[in-house]
Chains A and B, each alone.
Chain A
Amino acid sequence: MANPAKKTVFAPWDDTNEKPLITFEGVTKKFGSFVAIDDLNLQIYTREFFALLGPSGCGKTTLMRMLAGFETPTQGRITLAGQDIGPVPPNKRPVNMMFQSYALFPHLTVWDNIAFGLRRSDMPRDQIPARVEEMLRLTRMEKFAQRKPHQISGGQRQRVALARSLAKAPKLLLLDEPLGALDKKLRHDTQFELMDIQEKTGTTFVIVTHDQEEAMTVASRVAVMNQGKVVQVSTPDRIYETPATAYVADFIGEVNLVEGVASPNPAGGYAIAWAEGQAPIVSACDKSIAQGARVSFAIRPEKVRITPDRPEGAQNAMQGKVHDIAYLGNISTYHVLLPTGQIIKAQTANSRRVENREFTWEDDVWLSFTDTAGVVLTE
């Protein structure tokens, strides 16, 4: 209480005293000769909203199914609150899962669906109704308690599935593409609702998704997966701002990747020679990169300024022609063709009416960015 004004940041992964709730230790899962999960190590902490993000077939669903107990690792150990859960069958784990298809029992009412798990727990019979009512209130489904799953809409089914999986107050809730079946608008609302419910209940959530926007919105940390491996685990902003590899940079949002050769600047940072006759890109990167190493320079389109003339004192500037314009309403993305044949994307907010914009197709423009705008990737 020494400094009440200071807001405590939720970051148990930076705290060395904090024990993770879940650890994966060298976990490998093979289906026949196919390696779904490849020697994976991962820690997930209590009260985290953890997202597993990756393209289909990257192993994220397998990872989740191992936590639920539907798959067992071929090698390695998974612990939950310090206990090895390898030999524990799904019905004995303090883990519940919300299925992609919701898997609501069609022959039972909403009420009975939510009570299903409670009736099979050691909760005294007379406390079950109160708990079901509480879950119905949490998901605002009180009015639909006596309906069957086919008598409610998709969004309502999603909420019932959530209520049912939260009813037993699991230590860990797994969500398998929970919003995949909803339309875009409903999905956005539901994302915030999910975060709200996660905060209210204090449950640790692990969500599987292939939608990067969804992962960035809901998660406290995101693990980007590719081909059975975790490529990067970090907070959404770190993943976006400082991707570990070109794969992550490319998978999350839009990015310009420029390949080149790095050489350290005497004053710090690196100069990246990327094309004949072009000034090297200057980047204030603090990684240690060997002289002459092949690197990729990654920069987000919204960090590239586009101007009609060369801006004064720009650390990096290059000239090109407007090749294409993608008008998205609130923003526009300009595809600028450089003399080297490369295309760099630059994004600007459409603060002026579209007919008043400064440049159009085939105009000569200047692209500029600061030395801290991009990142240098060695892989």
Chain B
Amino acid sequence: MRRFSWFNATSLTLGFLFLYFPMVILVIYSFNASKLVTVWGGFSVKWYGELFHDQAFLDAAWVTLRVALAASTLATILGTMAAYVMVRAGRFTGRTLFSGMIYAPLVMPDVITGLSLLLLFIAVGLDRGITTVVLAHTTFAMCYVSVVVSARLVSFDRSLEEAALDLGCSPWDAFRSVTLPIIAPAVISGWLLAFTLSLDDLVIASFTTGPSSTTLPIKIWSAVRLGVNPEINALSTIMISIVTVGVITTSILSKRNAVQRMRDEQKAQQA
């Protein structure tokens, strides 16, 4: 056992306060009856009710959801393909360049990505709207997917694929019936990552969106510029709860899987 240390306790408390205090404030004030954000006027859930009657917010949420679904799915397909090539194709001319180019968007400032995509869409004459946001999000999310999936593919036992070929699979069949099911957890986490990134992206979306396709972050941002209203607090609280439930569920599930697997393996050794 480590000894209790005031230094450790203080830094831990400060760290957690720094991370979570703002969110706690936000959640508390979402139940504020008063319209003034900074003055407590008693407990109420009326802002949640109003939120669900605000058509503009609902529309923005719907747009965001559609964009995130489409972009994360496209990014997952492209990112998985890229990862597969990077890990499997061995050495080919331009491999280093190619892999560098896949990972470059990770460090590229969003403003640059957004601006360059905007210029591209104008140049090719693509009307800005949902399509352009989806394309932009796919572009920057696919590199995250490719990082997650290639990490899994590196540790993937190639003889599994060879065994599939050996047992009569065509290369595509081997990928579909052996590789994909085994790397599925990584592909799914890549998809979730892309989905979250797309959900909360403000910068790139505001560069590439059109008038008819305001996403939720853009809507919140523009609403806040006119003053924070309690509806936003309510909306944010809902988003925080969804994320929290999601994170807790996945960690419980994966923990349970790991424990189950360990038990199975122990049993198998004894059998």
Binary per-residue interface labels of chain A (153-187) against chain B in the complex, 1 for a CB within 8 Å, 0 otherwise = 10010000000110010000000000000000000
- Chain A contact-residue range equals 20 to 34
In the bound complex, how far is the Cα of B161 from the Cα of A106, in angstroms?
12
Q: Which residue of A lies closest to B178 (CB)?
A: A105
Contacts of A96 in B (CB 8 A): 166-167
Q: Would you call B168 and A121 a contact (CB within 8 A)?
A: yes
Contacts of A116 in B (CB 8 A): 164, 167
Q: Which of A69, A152, A168 is close to B167, meaning CB atoms less than 8 Å apart?
A: A168
A117 at the interface (CB under 8 A from B): yes
With known contacts A106-B182, A152-B268, A117–B168 Cβ distance under 8 A: yes
Q: Which residue of B lies closest to A121 (CB)?
A: B168
Q: Would you call B165 and A151 a contact (CB within 8 A)?
A: no
Contacts of B160 in A (CB 8 A): 103, 105
Question: From residue A271, how far is it (CB to closest CB) to chain B in Å?
Answer: 54
Q: Which residue of B lies closest to A96 (CB)?
A: B166
In the bound complex, how far is the Cα of B232 from the Cα of A198, in angstroms?
73
A148 at the interface (CB under 8 A from B): yes
Q: Would you call A91 and B163 a contact (CB within 8 A)?
A: no
In the bound complex, how far is the Cα of B170 from the Cα of A69, in angstroms?
13
B265 at the interface (CB under 8 A from A): yes
With known contacts A120-B168, A120-B173, A103–B163 Cβ distance under 8 A: yes
Q: Which of B162, B168, B261, B271 is close to A103, meaning CB atoms less than 8 Å apart?
A: B162
Question: From residue A178, how far is it (CB to closest CB) to chain B in Å?
Answer: 13
In the bound complex, how far is the Cα of B268 from the Cα of A152, in angstroms?
4
Give A322-366 interface residues, CB cut-off 8 Å to B: none
Q: Would you call A151 and B169 a contact (CB within 8 A)?
A: no
Give B119-171 interface residues, CB cut-off 8 Å to A: 157, 159-160, 162-170
With known contacts A103-B157, A103-B159, A153-B271, A90–B264 Cβ distance under 8 A: no
In the bound complex, how far is the Cα of B164 from the Cα of A147, in angstroms?
20
Q: Would you call A91 and B265 a contact (CB within 8 A)?
A: no
In the bound complex, how far is the Cα of B181 from the Cα of A124, in angstroms?
26
Q: Which residue of A lies closest to B168 (CB)?
A: A120
Contacts of A99 in B (CB 8 A): 159, 162-163
In the bound complex, how far is the Cα of B141 from the Cα of A41, in angstroms?
54
With known contacts A103-B163, A148-B264, A91–B178 Cβ distance under 8 A: no
Give A46-96 interface residues, CB cut-off 8 Å to B: 68-70, 89-91, 95-96
Interface residues of B, Cβ cutoff 8 Å to A: 157, 159-160, 162-170, 173, 178, 181-182, 261, 264-265, 267-269, 271
19 A-B contacts (beta carbon < 8 Å): A68-B162, A90-B162, A90-B166, A91-B167, A91-B169, A96-B166, A97-B163, A97-B166, A101-B157, A105-B160, A105-B178, A106-B182, A107-B181, A117-B168, A120-B168, A120-B169, A151-B264, A151-B265, A153-B268
Given A120-B168, A120-B173, A156-B271, 18 extra CB contacts under 8 A: A70-B162, A70-B165, A90-B166, A91-B169, A96-B166, A96-B167, A99-B159, A105-B182, A106-B182, A107-B181, A116-B167, A117-B168, A150-B264, A150-B268, A151-B264, A151-B265, A151-B268, A152-B268
What 10 A-B pairs come out closest when comparing CB atoms?
A117-B167, A120-B168, A103-B163, A103-B159, A90-B165, A151-B264, A107-B181, A99-B159, A91-B168, A97-B166
